[in-house]
Amino acid sequence: MKKRHFVITLVLGISLFWSGSAFANETLPSNIQWLSNDDAPLIGSPDAKKGGTYRSYLTAFPLTVRTVGPDANAGVRDAILANRLSLTTIHKNTEEIIPELATHWAYGEDKKTMYFKLDKRAMWSDGEKVTAEDYQFTLDFMRSKNIIDPWYNNYYTEEIDKVIIYDDYTIAVVSKKALPELHLRVTISPTPRHFYKGSVPKDFVKKHNWKVVPNTGPYQISNIKKGKSITFSRNKDWWAKDLKRYTGRYNVDKVIYSIIREETAAFEYFKKNRLDAFSLALPSFWHEKAKNMEVYTKGYVKKLWFYNDTPRVSFGFYLNQDLELFKDRNVRYAFAHSIHMKKLLKDVLRGDYTRLEQSTIGYGKYTNPDVKARTYDIEKVKQLLTESGWKRGPDGIWQKGGMRFSVKVVYGYKDYAKWLVVLKEEAKKAGLELNLQLLDGSAFLKMVSEKKHEAALIGLSASLRPSYWQVYHSDNAHKPQTNNLSNTDDPEMDKLIDQYRITTEEDLRVELAHKIQVRSHEIGGFVPTFVRDYFRIVYWRWWQFPKVPATKLSSGAFSAFGTGIFWLDPEIRKETLAAMKNGETFEPELIIDKTFKIK
């Protein structure tokens, strides 16, 4: 009866008041085995000093500080979400499960349910206690039509089944499907029920554009200057500040994001000491603009080159196999052999990037190291195409019947043109004509997701574990709005993927993943390009780091709300500023960290 009641409330979008005790009649299974993990290695340094302000920038002022609903998917959303703790999280170096808002957890026998004991010390930034109800409210909130966010509506209905409340500090979160590594799916974060007074208002989207929601993390938005800056300040009585796992973390008092609309302008701001760090990912910055800048040669700023080890974006050419031309496997192979990545990497990208060997890179043991990308080879192209009955035409391009080996490559970023023209010239030598088409970002995405492209140069973002169904399964081929951009439709592949999806045993999953990668290479619908396995930045010398300045999964060193392990040394700052005034210099310093570099 209670459950019925619950469903009806949902449908009407009206939340009636009921307390957590309404579910008190649910009882915990008796054979539960509680787990915890308080001994994970610390990532922060015990020497870290608290205090100071970190100054960063955004290229556009966010349209809202909501994290759901229209226009929310940009701006400072990541910063806001990083300050909302979840039940558990994973360790950024070891990838083991560690506590956040729950102290203990346990897996149910059905592989769908995970039980959590909540941390009784946990408090919202407005001083209220975090209780079981707040987790139930996350579901109510995310399922509400009033947030106008179909993706979240769907995710919290189709993926998360329900939250069961046993008492104020014990809950279970149930997934719709049995899953391996269940914790990656069900560790939801709470939503402050008291703040929303138990329901999501009809005009939520409008009313909450600039409302700061109580959170559970170390920082909270303290100042919004519309069009100019957003400031995060430390939560004064953050409930977890003395916990061992947060030793030496979240050291600065304030983080200011100013709006600077141009990268090059931001770089000038950095050099004038109005920003604390600047990313030098682009070769043009690292090799030219920042190479011999005065603040570096005089030693006022330091450079850091850090190799990380995270799942890599599968950036490359997705060949549409619905196209007559690409139905022949030899032609797909020939395309891959006509792409001269080596030249591009060496002569244009200055060796800053490495070849992406296949689509599953950076997934640890899930990656099959034996799968290697096809390399530029004119002879192989000749052999493959002659085998399929092609001949070189008078203009040097391969021909067969009425077909020419000419492919339209669509891409969505102007910067890619610089790389593509090099590949185009080299491909011509192999007898492949590439026609380049730059499309406006949204027009590009539309074309690709409707599978109207011939070949698309695009990077598909990576999740923590490889997910093959969306990219290679025939369920997603030949129809719009799916990620199977190569229209791969292969019965053997389907079989492997189906198995991979239902297997919960890790060793078997790894083995299947390896097989899928081999099969995907055999199909050849994806031509991988390159990958960057590091980040590099320049920062003022008063910023200090632990011995290892970032984590395995880090994409930057100044992650104020994620790892937050950097700190400001006021003595060095004073010394440096004085030196700059008096014209004294320091030894320039370039730190290269290879702790997580894959050999």
Partner 1 sequence: MLISIFAELLINNRALVVYDGEKVYFPTYGEMIPGRQFGLDYDYETNYRELQLAYQKSDGPEFVILPPVPYDAYEIDLKDGRFPPYPPSFADRHYLGTDVIGRDIIARLVYGFRICMAFSLLLLVMNFTIGITLGCIMGYFGGKFDLLFQRIIEIWSAVPFLYIIMIISSVIIPNLLMLVLISVLFGWMGLTWYVRTTTYKERAREYVLAAKTLGASNSRIIFHHILPNSISLIITFVPFSVAGGISALTALDYLGFGLPAPTPSWGDLLQQGTSNLQAIWIISSIVASLVVVMVSITFIGEAIREGFDPKMHSTFE
When asked if residue 348 is in the footprint of partner 1 (CB under 8 A), the reply is: yes
* 3-state SS class at 354: strand
When asked if residue 292 is in the footprint of partner 1 (CB under 8 A), the reply is: no
Q: Which residue has the tokens 């492209």?
A: 453
When asked if residue 293 is in the footprint of partner 1 (CB under 8 A), the reply is: no
Cβ 488 vs Cβ 519: under 8 Å: no
CA dist 133 and 198 (Å) reads: 10
Count of residues near partner 1 by CB under 8 A: 30
H or E stretch covering 580: helix 570-582
When asked if residue 265 is in the footprint of partner 1 (CB under 8 A), the reply is: no
Looking only at the bridges linking them, the beta strands covering 170-175 and 113-118 are antiparallel
Would you list the DSSP string of 432-447?
A: -EEEEEE--HHHHHHH
When asked if residue 389 is in the footprint of partner 1 (CB under 8 A), the reply is: no
Question: Which residues, 6 or more positions from 421, have their beta carbon under 8 angstroms from its beta carbon?
Answer: 436
What is the pattern of x (binds partner 1, CB under 8 A) and - over residues 268-287? -------------------x
**Shortest Å distance, C-beta 443 to partner 1:** 5
CA dist 88 and 102 (Å) reads: 6
When asked if residue 380 is in the footprint of partner 1 (CB under 8 A), the reply is: no
Looking at the Cβ atoms of 224 and 282, the one nearer to partner 1 is 282
For 520, other C-beta atoms within 10 Å of its C-beta total 24
Looking at the Cβ atoms of 276 and 433, the one nearer to partner 1 is 433
When asked if residue 263 is in the footprint of partner 1 (CB under 8 A), the reply is: no
**Shortest Å distance, C-beta 448 to partner 1:** 14
Which stretches of 272-396 are DSSP H helices?
Answer: 283-284, 294-297, 329-337, 341-343, 378-387
Q: Which stretch binds partner 1 (CB under 8 A): 60-68, 429-437, 559-567, 572-580?
A: 429-437
Lookup: tokens for 433? 């004509």
Sign of CA dihedral 395, 400, 401, 407: negative
Q: Which of 36, 146, 153, 437: binder of partner 1 (CB under 8 A)? A: 437
Q: Which stretch binds partner 1 (CB under 8 A): 43-51, 123-131, 437-445, 545-553?
A: 437-445
Under rule CB under 8 A, which residues in 409-428 are in contact with partner 1?
Answer: 414, 417-418, 420-422, 424-425, 428
When asked if residue 60 is in the footprint of partner 1 (CB under 8 A), the reply is: no
Q: Which of 439, 445, 518, 579: binder of partner 1 (CB under 8 A)? A: 439
When asked if residue 430 is in the footprint of partner 1 (CB under 8 A), the reply is: yes
Q: Which stretch binds partner 1 (CB under 8 A): 157-165, 438-446, 491-499, 507-515?
A: 438-446
**Shortest Å distance, C-beta 529 to partner 1:** 17
Looking at the Cβ atoms of 211 and 452, the one nearer to partner 1 is 452
* 3-state SS class at 501: helix
Q: Which stretch binds partner 1 (CB under 8 A): 6-14, 211-219, 354-362, 387-395?
A: 387-395
The dihedral region occupied by 39, where left means phi > 0, alpha psi between -120 and 50, and beta the remainder, is alpha
Instruction: Specify the amino acid at residue 29.
Output: P
* 3-state SS class at 512: helix
Instruction: Specify the amino acid at residue 258.
Output: S
Which residues sit at the interface with partner 1, rule CB under 8 A? 287-288, 343, 347-348, 350, 378, 382, 392, 394-396, 414, 417-418, 420-422, 424-425, 428-431, 436-440, 443
